Amino acid sequence: MKKRGLVFLVLLVIMAAWIAGAFRTRTARDPFIRQAMPDAEIFLSIGNRIFEARTGSRRTGLVRIQSADGYGGPLTLAVSIDSLGTIRGAAVIDHKESSAYFRKVMSRNLPGQLKGRSVTDSLRLGVDIQGVTGATRTSRAIVTAVRIGSRAAARKYPGLDVPAERRASIRFGWPETVLISLFILGFTAGSIKGRTGRALRGISLLAGLIFIGFIYTIPLTLSHFTGLMMGYLPRWQDHLYVYILIVGMLMPLLITGRNVYCASVCPFGAVQEGLAFMGGASGKIRPKTRNRLRGLHDLLVLTAIAAALVLRHPGATSYEVYGSLFDFTGSVVQFAVLGAVLILSLFFFRPWCRFLCPVRALERYMRRLRSKERQKGVE
Amino acid sequence: MFFTSGLFWFIEGILACVVIVGLKVWAEDRSVSMPWWKIGLIVLWWAWAGFTAAFIGTSIGEGEPHAALMGGIVFTVPAIVAAVLLWRFLGPGKSGKRPEPRS
Amino acid sequence: MVEKNRKHLTRRGFLKASGAAGAALGSAGLFFHGIQSGRNPASYTGWKTREGGDQTFNRKRFAVDSPTYEKAGEGQRVDARSGVVFSRLPGLMRYWRENRGMEGLPEYLQLYYKEHPEDFDLDLYNYRELFPKMRSDAVRYGDAFLLAEAWSHAMSAVQVEPISEPPEIADFPGRRRGFMGGDPQKPLKMKTPQKTSRLIKKIAHELGSTLVGVTRLNPDWVYSHPMRGRGLDPDEYLEVPKHWEYAIVVGTPMSWDPMYANPNYGTSEDAYSISRIVAFRLCAFIKRLGYAARPHYPGTSYDLMVPPIMVDAGIGEQARNSVVITPELGMNFRAAVVTTNLPMMPDKPIDFGVQSFCETCKVCAEQCPSGAITMGGKEVIRGYRRWHLHAAKCYNFWNSNLGNMGCRLCVAVCPYTRKSNWVHRAALHVTANDPTGLSHHALTRMQKVFYPGPDPQDYFMPSLGGKNASYRPPPWWLRTEDFIEL
């Protein structure tokens, strides 16, 4: 009974956080609209997210609020055009990028590059706009929002010849193929008993380490889930990889009770298991200590999710240390935690997974939702 | 400066010999074989650990404490992992034989 | 009688214990070696000796037949009146009048601004808005830099006599100079160019230069306008004087610890003052041998561009920010050039991996507060392929921060600009000898993780939203608050 109560309580906390986040004062848009078109006197709303800029009684242009998918979530900006379809300015209202990347893009004045362009230009990264090296996703979000927004506004001028938005082709390349193959391989490995199954799982983990870890460096993280909870659904044509990640983890779990991602795909899991294999990993933890640690684990993840929901910023509380290992970037704390986890992995089996990983905590929660008997999981 | 002088390195050389002799005696007492390649691996490990200590010290002396901290973490962790693995595979087992890895 | 509780210390036990103690002592020793290595005054390259003991990199191994910049078309000489921002801005200030606009500017300025319209906005903004803002910010927030400014001022207290006569007169020995005078020396017959080169380099070290290099002068590097001693704005195309055959590069580094505390505690004046004195001394020496010599020296007394001459002379390679990286000092080398007709054997240029490293690294571009350094690829500029530096943006930042004039952040953050201890020497030799470029990626990563800097926005002065940040804290002897009541 107590377990059921706890489950309900957690749900309550998350809902409360979600509501709190929704009610937080939304960034006032007016200063940014003005920034996009400084020489207008007043702005009148003439439709859904579109404003008319006026000087006296004359319409001098239009300003449109447009969003596009950034790296950490939607990026919203105000873009203005004049009656000839020339872009007069763009001002970012809200974004979910990490501050360092965003500042990098703004210091290179990417919005400034777009001033003076026409809606009939290509307005594409790499074609006629130079992105900011090392911040491609953020650059692309800004350029996309300006392109789509300016053209949407331009369609209000009947005399302008606005190019149709090219239907984005589905991005399906090697990363997506590899990821799907790994899920299939992992699922198969879990279905075969004995040495063959174990060997297949080992191969899958090794491949996951190389590809998902070092080459692509896009493992499953908390921000993927919190983003979903906030309703940030990036366009599946561009972000198929992320959807495969989430679906590949959730579907087998909910249908068959098996977590294929953790067992056979996760690169950090692969590292820990490799170290466990070499180091023996014979350390045992007493049940009382283990349960206490698990309690702390759940509390940590719950706090991270709630905070992200309140801030409406999926990446803000994504505390994973994978970047320090696979990309050699991160704070001192992340490096230190990574180091500790690696050393502990020699003595205890998968310590990060069992006591720190947000995905594993989510899995435990979902299992509790289903039934009590299926709590064994991969352990 | 003493620690950058020739005398210091002379003393380090003597200490290195003392360490090797001590290691040899210890290995004999524990009935662990010490062929040349094991000693080589230990020397390599020693070079890495020594590099780590010297790097941390140099960064502090240079006035770059952040580098000392980060370098400390980044270089020490593999040193510890390698030490544990070396002990497991090269060192004495419970029955004197090499321990089996857990699968 | 042997007590049962006491452990017997056998000989073997003693050896084992000694081994363990030796290991502990040895490691501790290495740690303390590290600390003293890091603090070692000998690592402050450039301030050690006149024995040439700072030019320690074996350039012979890396000598190549042609320099690591690419010629991509017809070379053009630069018009320094408009192409060099230090001349252009005073020109704009002198001739700009609101009512006359562009028409009131001399033709060379109009031409330049037509080709570079963005620079017009930047230059105007610089002298009308930034400069007064900087003065008022300095009054309110500049106390912390008083000592640094005094030190810089002291360094520039010794000036040299500017050249006021045309090359045909000024460059040649013929003037009686004080009581060292006598009849002007006829050119002495030197034995061989190799011997002359060797002599000149040793003399240059003795006269105070840290690094020396010799090359034939490429006329593309000489300004088309102006030339000191020929009057301010001549309209005729200036021929390169025939006696400017060779160029000798001399110079010194800036003081290391203040340099790391750029853009405000550091200065260019410490290196500038020594470099110009060395250049003048070297000219006096060469003239004493009877040959022509002209010094081109910092701050702005040049008739030519120095960096490509440094590359030709094998001093180093040109990097992403257009500054030359030297193996011994990184970018921390401020040069002067002496043009002469003394016959010497030129040095070969060197290739030690800088082009490949700069391709990956980009730390200077990321840290540059003004965005003047490009993150992109090389472009063809006046006939040569290299990375473009937007000088107007850079110069605007000089008036957007407090403390000593200038910025020098790119010099301070460059991975090559490190003191000379075993860590950085090892990194240099690894990158210099690595043809694959793998170490360049690895070392760039380590540079960013181990040696990060503040947010570039913080370097600005307070009225522009910054915090007067410096890349590293100032050395103890420049902390004004420790010595002066503020």
Residue in the block written with tokens 């870890």: A213
Q: Other CB atoms closer than 10 Å to residue C226's CB: what's the count?
A: 17
Say what the pLDDT of residue C5 is. 47
Q: Measured in Å, how far apart are chain B's first and last C-alpha atoms?
A: 52
Q: What number is the ipTM of this complex?
A: 0.84
**C412 token code pair:** 């301070």
Which residue type sits at C20? Answer: A
What's CA A53's distance to the chain center, in Å? 35
| Polymer length of chain A | 379
B77 interfaces chain C, CB cutoff of 8 Å: no
Q: In this complex, do C19 and B50 lie within 8 Å of one another by their Cβ atoms?
A: no
DSSP C171: T
pLDDT for B103 beyond 50: no
Q: In this complex, do C376 and A133 lie within 8 Å of one another by their Cβ atoms?
A: yes
Query: What whole-number distance in Å separates Cα of residue C50 and Cα of residue C52?
Result: 5
Say what the pLDDT of residue B81 is. 94
Using CB atoms within 10 Å of the CB of residue A373, give its burial: 0 to 12 exposed, 13 to 18 middle, 19+ buried.
Answer: exposed
- Do the strands A42-47 and C293-296 form a parallel or antiparallel pair, or are they unpaired? unpaired
Q: What is chain B's Cα-based Rg?
A: 17
Q: Which helix (H) or strand (E) holds C214?
A: strand C213-216
Q: Given pLDDT bands bounded at 50, 70 and 90, which one contains residue B2?
A: confident
Give me the residue spans of the domains in chain C.
56-482
Query: What whole-number distance in Å separates Cα of residue A181 and Cα of residue A184?
Result: 5
Predicted TM-score (pTM) of this structure: 0.85
Peptide bond between residue A158 and the one before it cis (omega within 30 degrees of 0): no
Say what the pLDDT of residue C118 is. 86
pLDDT for A196 beyond 60: yes
- pLDDT digit string, tens, across residues C430-465: 999 999 989 999 999 999 999 999 988 899 999 988
Nearest residue of chain B to residue C11 (CA atoms): B25
Nearest by CB to C456, from A107, A133, A329: name it.
A107
Q: Are C311 and C233 in contact (CB under 8 A)?
A: no
**A325 token code pair:** 């290992």
Residues of C in contact with A103 (CB under 8 A): 455-457
Q: In this complex, do B11 and C449 lie within 8 Å of one another by their Cβ atoms?
A: no
Query: What whole-number distance in Å separates Cα of residue C85 and Cα of residue C396?
Result: 10
Which residue type sits at C364? Answer: C
- Using DSSP's 3-state secondary structure scheme, residue C340 falls into strand
Q: Other CB atoms closer than 10 Å to residue C329's CB: what's the count?
A: 29
Interface probe with B: pick from A272, A278, A326, A328, most Cβ of B within 10 Å: A278
Query: What whole-number distance in Å separates Cα of residue B76 and Cα of residue C371?
Result: 37
Which residue type sits at A221? Answer: T
- pLDDT digit string, tens, across residues C274-296: 999 999 999 999 998 999 999 99
Nearest by CB to A343, from B69, B81, B101: name it.
B81
Say what the pLDDT of residue B95 is. 46
Nearest by CB to A342, from B70, B77, B99: name it.
B77
Which residue type sits at C79? Answer: D
- Give the max Cα distance, chain A: 81
Q: Per residue in A308-338, is it b (16+ CB within 10 Å) or e — as a string?
A: bbbbbbbbbbbbbbbbbbbebebeeebbbbb
- E strands, A22-112, are 42-47, 50-55, 58-69, 74-81, 87-94
What's CA B16's distance to the chain center, in Å? 11
- pLDDT digit string, tens, across residues A241-253: 999 999 999 999 8
C233 interfaces chain A, CB cutoff of 8 Å: no
- Using DSSP's 3-state secondary structure scheme, residue B35 falls into coil
Output the DSSP codes for C268-327: SHHHHHHHHHHHHHHHHHHHHTT--EEEEBTTTB-SB-HHHHHHHTTS-EE-TTSPEEBT
Q: Are A205 and A219 in contact (CB under 8 A)?
A: no
Interface probe with B: pick from A326, A346, A350, most Cβ of B within 10 Å: A346
CA distances from C375 to A109, A131, A133, C395 (A): 13, 10, 7, 18
Contacts of C179 (CB under 8 A, 6+ apart): none
- Using DSSP's 3-state secondary structure scheme, residue A275 falls into helix
Residues of C in contact with A139 (CB under 8 A): none
A45 interfaces chain C, CB cutoff of 8 Å: no
Q: Given pLDDT bands bounded at 50, 70 and 90, which one contains residue A280?
A: confident
- pLDDT digit string, tens, across residues B10-47: 999 999 899 888 888 888 888 888 788 888 899 899 99
Nearest by CB to C371, from A108, A130, A335: name it.
A108
Q: Other CB atoms closer than 10 Å to residue A250's CB: what's the count?
A: 17
**Rounded to the nearest 10 degrees, how much is the dihedral formed by the CA atoms of C142, C147, C149, C155?**
180
Say what the pLDDT of residue B101 is. 52
Residues of C in contact with B64 (CB under 8 A): 38, 450-451, 472
What average pLDDT score do residues A9-19 get?
Answer: 89
Residue in the block written with tokens 């004197």: B96
CA distances from A58 to A52, A61, A83, A261, C155 (A): 10, 9, 11, 59, 62
Using CB atoms within 10 Å of the CB of residue A257, give its burial: 0 to 12 exposed, 13 to 18 middle, 19+ buried.
Answer: middle
**A208 token code pair:** 């996951």
- pLDDT digit string, tens, across residues A143-193: 999 999 999 888 888 888 888 877 677 888 899 999 999 999 999 998 998
User: Which comes out higher in pLDDT, residue A35 or C319?
Assistant: C319
pLDDT for A126 beyond 80: no
Residues of A in contact with C446 (CB under 8 A): 328
Query: What whole-number distance in Å separates Cα of residue A67 and Cα of residue A75?
Result: 5
Contacts of C231 (CB under 8 A, 6+ apart): none
Residues of B in contact with A275 (CB under 8 A): 81
Q: Other CB atoms closer than 10 Å to residue A343's CB: what's the count?
A: 19
Nearest by CB to B57, from C34, C450, C452: name it.
C34
**Rounded to the nearest 10 degrees, how much is the dihedral formed by the CA atoms of C473, C476, C482, C486?**
-50
Residues of B in contact with C40 (CB under 8 A): 1, 4, 61
Q: Going from the first residue of chain C to its last (486 residues), give the mean pLDDT of each consecutive group of 10, the final group possibly shorter.
A: 58 83 88 86 64 80 92 89 91 87 89 91 90 92 94 92 86 62 74 96 93 96 89 71 96 94 94 95 93 93 95 97 96 97 96 94 90 89 93 94 94 95 94 92 93 91 91 95 92
Query: What whole-number distance in Å separates Cα of residue A199 and Cα of residue A277?
Result: 13
A113 interfaces chain C, CB cutoff of 8 Å: no
Peptide bond between residue C299 and the one before it cis (omega within 30 degrees of 0): yes
Say what the pLDDT of residue A130 is. 77
Say what the pLDDT of residue A1 is. 53
Peptide bond between residue C241 and the one before it cis (omega within 30 degrees of 0): no
Q: Measured in Å, how far apart are chain C's first and last C-alpha atoms?
A: 75
A349/chain B closest Cα distance in angstroms = 11
Interface probe with A: pick from B84, B86, B98, B100, most Cβ of A within 10 Å: B84
- pLDDT digit string, tens, across residues B80-95: 999 999 988 877 765 4
Strand partners, C71: C384
Query: What whole-number distance in Å separates Cα of residue A58 and Cα of residue A56?
Result: 6
- pLDDT digit string, tens, across residues A62-86: 999 999 888 888 899 999 998 888 9
Q: In this complex, do A103 and C455 lie within 8 Å of one another by their Cβ atoms?
A: yes
Say what the pLDDT of residue A217 is. 85
Say what the pLDDT of residue C139 is. 92
Peptide bond between residue C226 and the one before it cis (omega within 30 degrees of 0): yes
Please count the CA atoms within 13 angstroms of the CA of A315 that sit on its side-chain side.
12
Query: What whole-number distance in Å separates Cα of residue C2 and Cα of residue B88?
Result: 37
- Using DSSP's 3-state secondary structure scheme, residue C56 falls into coil
Task: Please count the helices (runs of H) and the strands (runs of E) in chain B.
Answer: 3, 0
Q: Which long-range contacts (CB under 8 A, 24 or more apart) does A22-27 make?
A: A22/A312, A24/A310, A24/A311, A24/A312, A27/A93, A27/A94
Nearest residue of chain B to residue A198 (CA atoms): B103
